[in-house]
Amino acid sequence: MIRFITALFFILLTTGVKAQQTLHVLAFKSPKELHQFFRWTGKDIPIVSGHRGGMIKGFPENSLATFENTLKHTPAFFEIDPRLTKDSVIVLMHDATLDRTTNGTGKVGDYTWEELKKLRLKDPEGNVTEHRIPTLAETIEWARGKTVLNLDKKDVPFPMIADIIRKHKAEAFVMLTVHSPAEAAYYLKGHKNQMFSAHMLTPQVVADYEKAGIPFSQLIAYIGPRIKPENKEMYKLLNAKGVMCMISSAPSYDKLKTPAERAEAYRNVFADGASILESDLPIETAEAIQSVLPAKSAKAVYFKKATFSDRF
């Protein structure tokens, strides 16, 4: 029997058969479904966004391993950072330099993709891991059927971002962070169904988007990093247009010293009126808000579990 088990293990190892894992997924068949999921109704399930995928020991930011680890614990979508290599390959990297998050040094744009492939990513504590820098293309294909990607604005030209979404037919699960109506209008010329995460910190900015004819049915609104009295006006204004509002706790409540303090802050964000919380600690955030999840919601149909081959 021992010989049989040993032989079976050897066969599985050498034939490349991988373990199966169950992930919490947000899967959309069309841009219309994506728009409907992010449409504010007043009876929605609180949504967690992983800032750069999440940041816990052993798992680097902006890595496929981190995205998968987060989805093992909770449904979430991910804010990620596209940057351009010397030979015009789009990779994921928040900083313009490699020093903080990899075992390399210098500017991302000074290296070719072949050179960057040799580097390994660091976790939040600075430990070098086995994980490598992913390209945006492979990240998009990984995300298909699993989650939504929110592409932040870094140094990649707009036409290249538009082209990669078109090439991979990814409008149903890729949204774009925009900082002005003009940026949104540019993408809408070639992608009429494009979804956006728009920076809207004041009522005047909301009016600017309306004047520019940007469809409110195709965006969520980032309104800041903290609970503040001014948020009430923004919730009222944007929710009336069917827009969900997002708070980012990455620069604020994620920095609180204890899990208990952070958990209370995360719950308070949703109690204040936010629909989405973007966090460096998405797993911790999801655990903290279990008590405030609605018993029933029409949006529950979008929250599913699915089994995939473990690639890490």
In the three-class reduction of DSSP (H, G, I as helix; E, B as strand; rest coil), residue 146 is classed as coil
Could you give the residue numbers annotated as active site? 51, 94
Q: Looking at the chain, how many residues does it have?
A: 312
One-letter identity of residue 35: H
Separation between Cα atoms, residue 111 and residue 101, nearest integer Å: 15
Cα 127 to its chain centre, rounded Å, is 23
Q: Are 37 and 75 in contact (CB under 8 A)?
A: no
For the record, the structure tokens of 52 come out as 């750069």
**Which residue bears the tokens 């050179």?**
115
Q: What angle do CA 20, 21, 27 make, to 5 degrees?
A: 120
| Residue 39 DSSP one-character state | B
First to last CA, the chain: 29
Separation between Cα atoms, residue 140 and residue 170, nearest integer Å: 7
For residue 190, what are the contacts with CB-CB under 8 A and spacing of at least 6? 162, 166
- H-only helix segments in the chain: 2-14, 31-37, 64-73, 113-116, 136-143, 158-167, 181-190, 203-211, 231-239, 259-272, 282-288
